[in-house]
Structure 1
Amino acid sequence: MAEKKVVLITGANTGLGYQIVRALFGSNEAYEILLGGRSIQKAEQAVNDVTAEFPSSKTLATAIQVDIEDDASIEAAFQKVQSTYGKLDFLVNNAGAQLDPLFHAGKMTMREMWNASWNVNTVGTQIITTAFVPLLLKSSDPRLLFITSGTSTLAGSENRDLPINKVAPKGWPKPSHHLTGVPAYRSSKTGMNMMMREWYRTLKEDGVKVWCISPGYLATGLGGSQEQNKAFGAGDPAVAGSFVKAVLEGMRDEDVGKVILRDSVQPW
């Protein structure tokens, strides 16, 4: 019997991360999923939930504590994976945060919010990827995924039909509705896109397949509540979970090194 692929998914106890876990549990392939969460208790509960939902699945999940803002947590997770499995086949960098609303609500200063946005979405993702590359290189089919955003496309920012791209009127201060976008979030995800390109360049000769996944606007708790995002037209995150599974199982190998949508390539 073929050896199971080992998959680490960060931020996997909720939202899109959890939907990726569910999609892999529903696959015909068998995986060893390391379900990463900042809270080990929440990660363990997610393992219990998905195991109960898919009792006949050949896939197994194990909770692992990992906080991508904490170097000691990343190192401890690396040591656990190395000692238990000796390799990592797929790394899905899903953990992220949209913190702009906290600034608009007066709960963070602008500097705090911008620094934290980059620290989570870009810096932390870079550090955990660097830590786990040695284990990826032990795989016969290493795959490295970064979950980016449709708001990160520079070309797409020219689309004035989208509310997020509306031009503000002349003068200062601007009307409040022109100042409540997500510039820190979308900037940090644009930075992630270039980070992916650097990993693609760095690991190309090692045979590591690298992508950014742009899953679409989803009804998760990112930047608010699931209900709030759904009210604004967000889609079902389960669809994006299936999309990521398809990438992990080889459906988009011709698009390595790119930011991919479910049915196309996202413009830079």
Structure 2
Amino acid sequence: MASNKEIVFITGGNTGLGYEVVKALCKSPRPYEIIIGSRTVSKGEEAIASLQKEIPESASTLSVQQADLESDSSLERAVEAISAKHGGRLDVLINNGGASFDNDIAPAGRQMSVRDAFNKMWDVNSPRLLFVTSGTSTLAETEIFDTPMGQRLNASPPAGWPKGSAGPGTMSVTGYRSAKTGLNMVMREWARILRNDGVKVWAVSPGFLATGLGGVGADRLKAAGALDPSVGGETVRDVVEGKRDGEAGKVVRRDMVQPW
């Protein structure tokens, strides 16, 4: 069924930063058809009920689509469902769930893998493609030691092995930072690949937010200086609504372009 609203699909939209992005879009006077990607449909439905209660006058409409970014069959079903409902149209894809866009090896007898087909669908139909990255991913800021955050992230631990798993200067964020730095290059590659198709691509660095990421707890994160997650949702909404179009192809923070 065709819609005159902009169609937005956000993975992981039922919780954390994804939920805040959906909330920010629902608060906008601009109407959206928002598809919440959730590994568990019931959790997506719970998120919708909460949003409709909190923002009853929203101009946007909400639906949920089961989407597990670690499952090719789940993604294939999501593509088929969204394509059938919206005629292959998608205006904005917010890759909040951290999916890999590398091609898989095609099984015998297929022209392309399920991920290839998924990517091809979004390549053609998504005029805006957003990746959610992290402020910890910047290489330039690995040499900053004169701020509390720089000291926590960049200080070196004492000599000896093993290094431990908590406290300043440990290796507890090594995998996360490395993955997000790699994601920035994924964004740059998609910006290059889709440039002549008129698709704008960003990575959004939403800031240090008090979400459930890492299982630390919102109160402890706020005590360490984390901002309310709604700040990140509003930043993503600004990108969706064209306020950061001059910075396409970059990693954007709330108030600046993040250094590489």
- For Structure 1 versus Structure 2, the TM-score category normalised by the shorter chain is 0.7 to 0.9
User: Where does residue 111 of structure 2 map in the other structure?
Assistant: none
Change (3 A) 1:231 1:122: same
In 2, Cα distance between equivalents of 1:136 and 1:81:
14
2:192 is the counterpart of 1:218? no
What is the count of residue pairs matched by the alignment? 239
1:240 Cα deviation after fit: 1.2
Instruction: Answer yes or no: is the 8 Å Cα contact 1:82–1:135 preserved in 2.
Output: no
User: Where does residue 157 of structure 1 map in the other structure?
Assistant: 142
SS at match of 2:24: helix
Instruction: Answer yes or no: is the 8 Å Cα contact 2:12–2:39 preserved in 1.
Output: yes
For structure 2, list consecutive stretches of 5 or more residues without a partner in the other structure.
Answer: 104-114
For structure 1, list consecutive stretches of 5 or more residues without a partner in the other structure.
Answer: 96-120
1:44 Cα deviation after fit: 0.6
2:190 is the counterpart of 1:204? no
- Structural RMSD (CA): 1.9
Q: Aligned AA for 1:219? A: A
| 1:108-155 C-alpha deviation (Å, 9 max, x unpaired) | xxxxxxxxxxxxx352x557696154255346xx10000000000011
Q: Aligned AA for 1:213? A: V
1:95-134 equivalences in 2 (<5 Å): 95=97, 121=98, 123=100, 131-134=118-121
User: Post-superposition, which runs of at least 4 consecutive aligned residues in structure 1 deviate over 4 A?
Assistant: 125-130
For normalisation by structure 1, the TM-score amounts to 0.84
Q: Aligned AA for 2:190? A: W
Identity score, percent? 49
User: Where does residue 29 of structure 1 map in the other structure?
Assistant: 30
In 2, Cα distance between equivalents of 1:58 and 1:231:
35
2:219 to 227, 237, 244: 227
Answer with 221-230 or 208-217: which moved more.
Answer: 221-230
1:54-203 equivalences in 2 (<5 Å): 54-86=55-87, 87-95=89-97, 121=98, 123=100, 131-135=118-122, 137-138=124-125, 142-161=127-146, 162=150, 163-174=152-163, 177=167, 178-203=169-194
Change (3 A) 1:55 1:265: same
1:180 Cα deviation after fit: 4.7
Change (3 A) 1:122 1:52: closer
In 1, Cα distance between equivalents of 2:99 and 2:53:
34
| 1:27-79 C-alpha deviation (Å, 9 max, x unpaired) | 11100000111111100110111112111111000011101011111111110
Instruction: Answer yes or no: is the 8 Å Cα contact 1:92–1:145 preserved in 2.
Output: yes
2:232 to 229, 240, 257: 240
Q: Aligned AA for 1:4? A: K
2:256 to 256, 260, 264: 264
Instruction: Answer yes or no: is the 8 Å Cα contact 1:122–1:191 preserved in 2.
Output: no
In 1, Cα distance between equivalents of 2:95 and 2:47:
18
SS at match of 2:214: coil
